[in-house]
Chain A
């Protein structure tokens, strides 16, 4: 508990420091009137507001920020939202549809276009984003250079925020011998116990479990068929559990093994305190490259609160928030720069473990091909 409280304190200080650094660099900027909404909507950096101070003033004037599909237990978003509201007390965060999907973000932006309730910012999967690039507007955060070049759109329309690693979460009171690879899950000890976080033809997280199964069984990012074959074998062995895992089913022991992002497995275990399963353990399968999938940050081109949306992005890439992602078990986009600048929380990094040297993420084309294959083969394989 003490370390957590310390950590939160450090986080607030760091955020304040960033904010201060932002205004000191633009000392001569205008301090009074905030810029118009039309101008804020097209601002591509904090400089358009006359620096961070101007951006904060404009965001404060808007007074609210609409975020969407950010579950409190996902990648520490509960703490991140709380920290934002603490740092900028004049801005209220409206968090819509926390358990929705990336597609829900797009449909909300389209359906509520022009209304004050439309989402301002997205935390969105790559496949959905690629089809909807006209929905987002470019913006570059102050520490744009800290985001590796292949983690961002050169124009600034989107930028990676964090990735989990595909992992096995298991209840150590039911599974006594820790699994090391996906192949271990075919054993009789796992009868009726292994579940996926959703339908791979629907959820990127579940699809990523299939992609890792491919890597684990001689496939590759270009060939995910071995992953589908693996789940077919798992089903034939009677080990596949068809129920949708939740914190409740993990606590009751109904889903003793869950294949999902490391940060989700960590969030359902002892990290959740009394609400979690104290016996829940997390394994990153060995024997193949680790598999991740970065999510993207992007700003709605029709954001009802354009300044607050930009302030949110500045805030997300502060070391304080990037460290909060890390504390959840997710690897933030600016991790390498943070290690270099010594702004990474060293204790947290030690707990979470260094990022894997052998890391695979499907490219947009590979993901499209994989999804097409899943669409035609998955339902029959799991029947």
Chain B
């Protein structure tokens, strides 16, 4: 109601009224979202990272930065980056291929609709449920693992990977369950870019004597490249920040998000809770780099979608 009153009174003023009114209306519309982001993202993030700069008695200190020099932290941080990079690259390539294939189907056809909606669901299918689904299929006693054993492969890739069960290796094993939500996510974020390729560009190419090959190499790929790398970065961030799936599968650390939990809740090595803030800071730094790159690419990519 207040909004309506403000707008009404603004129309009666002259001069710069038009633009300022429009701007204030925009800000008003953004307010609920902005409050939400501040309350549930910005404040918790600042508090979490901030805790790294204090000791358990509340005195300001840089001592927690020693956590970064711990070799097991460094190994786990590397694991997290490798896992995220591998699942992002595989997810982006496979997802993009699926999008290309879907280009040949009718936009409102049965196949496209089914894959679209399935992707929306599966992109959110993570956590404990996903972990158990994979324990039941490729765990040590999983259906597929045991089928291979019955076929005579007593030691196969699933139950004998570097002397253990593949699924429970901190990064190699997690690639498979992570792809389960990475590929659908790629389909969701990349499909609009591919669907945005205009038929007129193909016709222009043909009119000027181009072939299908020159259409893809000279027109479509250059246009899609920023969108592709933007999606790739989004997939990286998605893997990087995942926690629940890994926590359900891996009991002995091995990823930074799991190390943060250990530092926070440990009942044996006590008094390291404030180091969690520094581990979080390390993750935030990587996420900031990734997100800056994403927004730069997104700006380039969106030029062609107008």
Contact = CB atoms under 8 A, between A and B. Distances in A.
A62 interface: no
B160 A202 contact: no
B251 A101 contact: no
B250 A236 contact: no
A243 B136 contact: no
B270 interface: yes
B266 interface: yes
A127 B268 CA distance: 6
B267 A127 contact: yes
Interface in B120-163: 132, 135-136, 139-142, 159-160, 163
A242 interface: yes
Contacts of A236: 163
B270 A371 contact: yes
B242 interface: no
A248 interface: yes
A371 B252 contact: no
Interface stretch (B13-21, B96-104, B164-172): B164-172
- B139, B252, B253, most chain A CB atoms within 10 A: B252
Contacts of B142: 254
Interface string B170-204: 10000000000000000000000000000000000
Contacts of B268: 127, 200-204, 207, 367, 370-371, 374
A240 interface: yes
A199 interface: yes
A241 B267 contact: no
A192 B163 CA distance: 8
B165 A131 contact: no
A82 interface: no
Q: What secondary structure prevails in chain B residues at the interface with A?
A: loop
A274 interface: no
Given A238-B164, A254-B135, A371-B270, A199 B251 contact: yes
Interface string B16-41: 00000000000000000000000000
Given A238-B164, A242-B169, A254-B135, A128 B270 contact: yes
Interface string B244-288: 000111111100000001101111111101000000000000000
Size category of the B interface is 35 or more
A101 B265 contact: yes
A247 interface: no
Interface string A180-204: 0000000000001101101111111
A242 B251 contact: yes
B205 interface: no
Nearest to B169: A242
Contacts of B238: none
A372 interface: yes
Contacts of A18: none
Given A100-B265, A203-B266, A235-B164, 8 more contacts: A101-B265, A107-B273, A127-B270, A204-B268, A240-B164, A244-B250, A254-B140, A370-B268
Pick the 7 closest A-B CB pairs, nearest first. Answer: A242-B168, A379-B72, A238-B163, A244-B251, A102-B267, A371-B268, A375-B269
Interface of B: 71-72, 75-76, 132, 135-136, 139-142, 159-160, 163-165, 167-170, 247-253, 261-262, 264-271, 273
26 contacts: A103-B267, A127-B268, A127-B270, A192-B160, A192-B164, A199-B252, A199-B262, A200-B268, A201-B253, A202-B265, A202-B267, A203-B266, A203-B267, A204-B268, A238-B160, A241-B164, A241-B168, A242-B168, A242-B251, A243-B165, A243-B250, A248-B132, A252-B136, A371-B268, A382-B252, A383-B75
